[in-house]
């Protein structure tokens, strides 16, 4: 692959210079730069006082009324199957335990007003009826008004200012709870069972593989619904911020979805490169990673690599499926992707701040990219050097990241926490294993 020969080179002093072939981001890994080892607590652990049911933050199960109205929730029935419950009223919220809940984000990135004023968006009859039914119940009306009051207080409104806002205006502001396109998927547990310290948080890797798969399916159902409810949405951004250094406002496991009316600069620039070389994900990422021994793990439906040219140490999991969007994957393909991502999170541990970012082919794009998910370890801070030069200092090289993760994956497999993975040098994929667009 001569066109990629200069994207990964080690200088005589040991400095590794690497460039991401999809983004052009230049990164240096300088010898002896400090980094946080895996599973080292980001603060001094404090003894935890157990609370059952949990009441540690606004996302905990005792605080269902401290989030906007539920669009739906996933529960497990006594028989062990999974069932989705739609649009529960306040009186029904505590009749079941939600494994995952889907609610509007109190502070939208792309607001309902954005869609109403810029696109002439109209709330669907289904959403309007749900809002009407919810507000018709006294507890529903009280809940919505309390959530709006909380929001206005958080943005700095004084009690005097709040008293002057008519109820009709507050209810207009609450329309975003029922028809907005920025949503949260909230997990049930805040801490692990028998947690003793405040660092014993439940992260993605602490779910069982089955729970993680249900988390994935529930997220994708929400993604489909955002598209279906707003014809002006061109792309739904899906991401997860874990721990405060990675941007989490609450350290309770949750994922976010945001509908936007464009692809975003990152997707647009990446697809332009794909337009010039449709097979670049195989050639410049997977084949290159095979040659450079950067494959972390794989199963029948996905492959994980320690990818070069990222500002932070980054694991990338690529779907091998011919399908290029998550909602088009078969249950078996989706489970394969979910299992590999779960394994990477479990090996990373719950004390590494990280972002999970989803990338897939937009629905209105003729240029195809494989569905892939980045797990970025937020173990270093960007500074003035990076801003001035656009050369980023990443203290962990792709090889070092792989060497950190692979032994942990072997341990987890021995403990039977993960299974059905080929780890590190066990991988069997030949060149060009990604089948995107060949359906």
Whose structure tokens read 């240096």? 28
pLDDT given at position 438? 84
Tokens found for residue 192: 């692990």
Is-contact 190 54, C-beta < 8 A?
Answer: yes
pLDDT tier for residue 51 given thresholds of 50, 70 and 90? confident
pLDDT digits (tens, 9 = 90+) for 106-131: 999 999 999 999 999 999 999 999 99
pLDDT tier for residue 1 given thresholds of 50, 70 and 90? very low
**What is the average pLDDT across 256-285?**
96
pLDDT digits (tens, 9 = 90+) for 19-47: 999 999 999 998 865 455 677 777 789 99
39-48, 109-118, 149-158, 321-330: segment of lowest average pLDDT: 39-48
pLDDT given at position 2? 37
pLDDT digits (tens, 9 = 90+) for 160-207: 999 899 999 999 999 999 999 999 999 999 999 999 999 999 999 999
Q: Could you give the CA distance from residue 284 to residue 7 in angstroms, rounded to a whole number?
A: 9
pLDDT given at position 64? 96
Which ranges of 277-330 would DSSP assign to H, the alpha helix? 280, 288-291
Q: If phi over 0 gives left and psi between -120 and 50 gives alpha, with beta otherwise, what is residue 243?
A: left
Using the 8-state DSSP alphabet, how is residue 191 labeled? B
The per-residue DSSP string of 239-278 comes to EEEESGGGT-SSSS-EEEEEEESS--HHHHHHHHHHHH-T
End-to-end CA distance of the chain: 26
Collapsed DSSP state (helix, strand, coil) of residue 423: strand
Strands 26-29 and 391-393: parallel
Whose structure tokens read 């003035």? 384
Q: Residue 103: which of 181, 28, 4 has the closest Cα?
A: 181
Whose structure tokens read 């028998």? 194
Q: What is the mean pLDDT of the chain?
A: 94
**What is the average pLDDT across 71-85?**
95
Q: Could you give the CA distance from residue 143 to residue 161 in angstroms, rounded to a whole number?
A: 20
pLDDT value at 367 more than 70: yes
pLDDT value at 300 more than 90: yes
């Amino acid at each position: 692959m001569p066109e990629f020969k200069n994207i990964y080179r080690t200088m005589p002093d040991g400095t590794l210079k690497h460039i991401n072939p999809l983004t052009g981001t230049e990164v240096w890994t300088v010898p002896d730069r400090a980094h946080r080892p895996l599973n080292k607590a980001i603060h001094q652990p404090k003894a935890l006082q157990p609370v059952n049911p949990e009441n540690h933050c606004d996302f905990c199960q005792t605080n269902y009324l401290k989030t906007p109205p539920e669009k739906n929730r996933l529960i497990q029935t006594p028989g062990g199957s999974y069932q989705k419950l739609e649009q529960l009223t306040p009186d029904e919220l505590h009749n079941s335990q939600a494994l995952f809940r889907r609610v509007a984000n109190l502070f939208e990135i792309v607001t309902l007003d954005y869609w109403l004023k810029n696109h002439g968006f109209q709330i669907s009859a289904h959403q309007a009826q749900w809002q009407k039914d919810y507000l018709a119940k006294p507890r529903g009306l009280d809940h919505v008004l309390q959530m709006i009051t909380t929001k206005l207080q958080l943005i700095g409104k004084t009690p005097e200012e709040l008293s002057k806002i008519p109820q009709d205006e507050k209810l207009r502001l609450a329309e975003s709870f029922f028809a907005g396109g920025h949503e949260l998927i909230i997990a049930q547990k805040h801490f692990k069972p028998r947690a003793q310290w405040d660092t014993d948080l439940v992260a993605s890797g602490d779910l069982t593989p089955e729970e993680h798969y249900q988390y994935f399916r529930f997220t994708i159902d929400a993604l489909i619904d955002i598209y279906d409810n707003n014809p002006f949405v061109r792309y739904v951004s899906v991401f997860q911020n874990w721990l405060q250094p990675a941007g989490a406002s609450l350290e309770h496991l949750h994922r976010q979805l945001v509908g936007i009316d464009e692809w975003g600069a990152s997707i647009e620039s990446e697809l332009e490169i794909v337009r010039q070389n449709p097979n670049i994900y195989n050639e410049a990422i997977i084949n290159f990673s095979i040659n450079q021994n950067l494959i972390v793990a794989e199963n029948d439906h996905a492959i994980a690599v320690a990818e070069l040219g990222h500002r932070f140490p980054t694991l990338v999991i690529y779907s091998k499926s011919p399908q290029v969007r998550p909602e088009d994957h078969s249950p078996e393909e989706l489970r394969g992707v979910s299992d590999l991502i779960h394994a990477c999170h479990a090996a990373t541990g719950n004390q590494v701040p990280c972002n999970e970012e989803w990338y897939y082919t937009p629905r209105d794009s003729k240029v195809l990219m494989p569905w892939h998910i980045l797990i970025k370890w937020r173990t270093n801070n960007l500074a003035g050097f990076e801003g001035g030069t656009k050369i980023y200092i990443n203290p962990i090289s792709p090889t070092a990241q792989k060497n950190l993760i692979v032994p942990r994956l072997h341990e987890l497999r021995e403990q039977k926490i993960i299974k059905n993975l080929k780890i590190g040098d066990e991988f069997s994929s030949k060149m060009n294993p990604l089948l995107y667009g060949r359906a």
